[in-house]
A and B are shown apart, each in its own frame.
Chain A
Amino acid sequence: QSVLTQPPSVSAAPGQTITISCSGSTSNIGVSYVSWYQQVPGTAPKLLIYDNSKRPSGIPARFSGSKSGTSATLGITGLQTGDEANYYCATWDTSMSPGWVFGGGTKLTVL
């Protein structure tokens, strides 16, 4: 049971746009920055979005992030077959035992 809630899967055709939601609480997303990670099976995760909506150098503008209250959203426009991967949201939880918490991951299938 993950602290952050993501849909298990999402699918769309090449060229389309998708969003992936990430729901948390007032002790994590509500007060901390959200980051997103892309993991192609068999490889290490890669930072995709940080500080809710910023992209590291080298990440295309097709990827975007936003946060509102205790939820965050990852958006991908102009889907490509190479975007097929698992996507995870993460944030710092400020509860009694502070630490990093992750969503359960969302499997993106590009049909």
Chain B
Amino acid sequence: QLHLQESGPGLVKPSDTLSLTCTVSGGSIRSSNYYWGWIRQPPGKGLEWIGSKIGSSYYGANTFYNPSLKSRATMSLDTSRNQFSLTLTSVTAADTAVYYCVRTYGDYMVDCWGQGTLLTVSS
């Protein structure tokens, strides 16, 4: 059974760069059928998609980002470690949220979620 586990610093200062990693077990991220991505949820609010990246390099660097993040987000895959990562630059208090790493099956569904990790932006 596929399992996704997020890891991150928990607390970052305003204007810093946030880095989160998702470790995947029970399946390979090298797949042309699946995208690997991030969704966040500010406290008490709804879900916001951050970005998705295809698992197979055969299709090139097929990556999509939420335009509302204004190019602050970058995703990468480490197939040797079966991990993928998110980097978010110039963070502000508005980036405080629970961050979920997810697997999506094409554009059909988000079929697997990590348990989520809380990131707080505060000085």
Contacts and interface: CB of A to CB of B under 8 A. Distances in A.
B105 to A, nearest CB: 8
Contacts of B114: 44
Nearest to B100: A44
Contact of B46 (A2, A32, A97): A2
Given A97-B67, A102-B46, A90 B115 contact: no
B110 A47 contact: yes
Given A45-B113, A50-B111, A99 B49 contact: yes
B47 A51 contact: no
- Do most interface residues of chain B lie in helix, strand or loop, or is the interface mixed? strand
B109 A102 contact: no
A102 B64 contact: no
B55 interface: no
Interface string A87-111: 0101010000111111111000000
Interface of A: 2, 32-33, 35, 37, 43-47, 50-51, 56, 88, 90, 92, 97-105
B110 A100 contact: yes
B106 to A, nearest CB: 8
A44 to B, nearest CB: 4
Contact of A99 (B46, B65, B108, B115): B65
